[in-house]
Amino acid sequence: MKKICVLGLGYIGLPTSAILALNGYQVIGIDINKEIVETVNKGKIHINEPKLCNIVSDMVAKKRLVAKTKPEKADIFIISVPTPLNKNKCCDLSFVITAIKSIIPYIEKENIIIIESTIPPHTVEDIIKPIIEKAGFNVGKDIYLAYCPERVLPGRIMDELVNNNRIIGGCTSICAKKAAEIYKSFIKGEILITDAKTAEMTKLIENTFRDVNIALVNELVKICNKLRINVLEVIKLANKHPRVNLHLPGPGVGGHCLAVDPYFIIQKTPYLARIISLAREINSNMPYYIVSQVKQLTKDINKPKIAVFGIAYKGNVDDIRESPALKIIELLKNEGFIVTIYDPYVKTDIIATSTINQSIENADMILLLADHNEFKNINYVKLVKKMRTPIIFDTKNIIKKIDNNFKKIKIINLGNLFTID
Ligand code: SAJ
């Protein structure tokens, strides 16, 4: 049985470890966080991801998955540690570099090393390969190095890990071949072989594509509201064109991918990446637009209280990384609004109220920022009775059912904002 060390037991590393164990590998999951290691070794998980917990508990019980804080000798090493933005909006590679250096004492000839963390183009060739070669190995001859980005969607990771196509970017063609053999053991999608730098750029442009397209509709929101046109109706109709697929506008773009990856392209070619930079700017500014609309909607109310529904960066996940809701809450507080927060998924200190009823008590607005399924099925007519002013500002356009009872509530979305002045 081949042994794999997976470094980083986060949103990607833990599901990957579980799938590899399920497919016949002996997996050692490495994380510097002791609590995560203890949780996994109890057969439990520290993230909210459907279908993951059962596999982890089964694999831990069968001893095919073991978590540890330090790496050890193995046949294969997979690096899936975070690559956050630093304060200059460049990729912070320190976790990747530390992870690579931590395996150096344990690697042996014929080992395969795979990077899954999102990284700027040329990182494998220019930064990672030299570290390995400095330790006396010859990449492509006695050690095999590849970049294999994941493309899974949080909330559907366990299905997408298996069914999505996978890009394998080898430092050499033999490196790619060796890495592909591992993924072939569990992937049902296509295995697409290329070189490392092409794989690095492909990963980045996939998320940049979405970020730019979301910026386009977020800009359209402002244009349409200025011109008194319902943007949501425009998007719906335009998408009936066979070759048009406008994305959905919202309060901004969050998550650890779309809001981060475009900067990895910008840092490499700042003067060339113009649409990419502008899209980032437009999406990052959406919270300011939302707050300006909240101010407009509540201008006649004394000391308005806003009940924010949903602070996760998107629906049905517990992740608040880069969530535009955090910026919106900060701006609202700076403007003197009283803010309560309700999110059934997220457990964090910034949520002082725990129940939906507590959060809307005497509130003047429900500000819907995440499209959690729970928020689609609420009886808003009943709920608003506890509010001081029954305004709902639905930035995700999820409240659809407007029967006669709904007429008593002011429901504003990004399409009918222009009706408020
Ligand atoms: N959003 C919009 N409008 C849309 C779609 C999304 O405002 O039409 C917002 C969401 O609310 C959220 C953000 O964009 O704040 C990102 O959401 P997402 O669902 O587009 O993406 P992520 O970050 O959850 O996952 C993405 C996925 N990328 C693509 O769909 C191309 C996933 O496949 C990647 O693996 C993942 O990034 C990653 O790890 O890179």
Q: Is 254 in the pocket of ligand 1 (CB under 6 A)?
A: yes
The answer on pLDDT for 350 being more than 90 is: no
Indicate if 228-421 has the same CATH topology as 3-203: yes
Q: What class is the 3-203 domain? A: alpha beta
Atom of ligand 1 nearest to the CA of 155: 24
Q: Per-residue pLDDT tens for 204-219? A: 999 999 999 999 999 9
> What is the pLDDT, as a whole number, of residue 155?
86
> Strand (E) positions, 199-349?
305-309, 338-342
Q: Per-residue pLDDT tens for 167-189? A: 999 999 999 999 999 999 999 99
The answer on pLDDT for 307 being more than 70 is: yes
Q: Is 160 in the pocket of ligand 1 (CB under 6 A)?
A: no
3-state SS assignment for residue 412: strand
> What is the pLDDT, as a whole number, of residue 154?
86
Where does 228-421 sit in CATH, by number?
3.40.50.720
Q: Which of 165, 210, 286 to mutate to test the pocket of ligand 1 (most atoms within 8 A of CB)?
A: 210
> What is the pLDDT, as a whole number, of residue 408?
73
Evaluated on CA atoms 398, 400, 401, 404, the torsion sign reads: positive
Element (H, E) at 177: helix 173-184
pTM over 0.75: yes
How many angstroms separate the CA atoms of 372 and 315, rounded?
A: 4
Strand order in the sheet with 166-170: 65-68, 26-30, 3-7, 76-79, 112-115, 144-147, 166-170, 191-195
DSSP string, 208-243: HHHHHHHHHHHHHHHHHHHTT--HHHHHHHHTTSTT
Tell me the pLDDT band of 409, cut-offs 50, 70 and 90.
confident
Percent of the chain whose pLDDT exceeds 90: 91
Give the residue among 109, 99, 183 at the shortest CA–CA distance from 146: 183
> What is the pLDDT, as a whole number, of residue 296?
96
> What is the pLDDT, as a whole number, of residue 324?
98
Atom of ligand 1 nearest to the CA of 160: 33
Q: Is 370 in the pocket of ligand 1 (CB under 6 A)?
A: no
> What is the pLDDT, as a whole number, of residue 347?
84
Check if the beta carbon of residue 45 is closer than 8 Å to that of residue 56: yes
Q: For residues 373, 375, 381 and 387, what is the CA-based torsion angle, rounded to 10 degrees?
A: 170
Tell me the pLDDT band of 318, cut-offs 50, 70 and 90.
confident
Find the range with the poorest average confidence among 318-327, 355-364, 404-413.
404-413
> What is the pLDDT, as a whole number, of residue 401?
64
For the chain, what are the domain ranges? 3-203, 228-421
Check if the beta carbon of residue 41 is closer than 8 Å to that of residue 60: yes
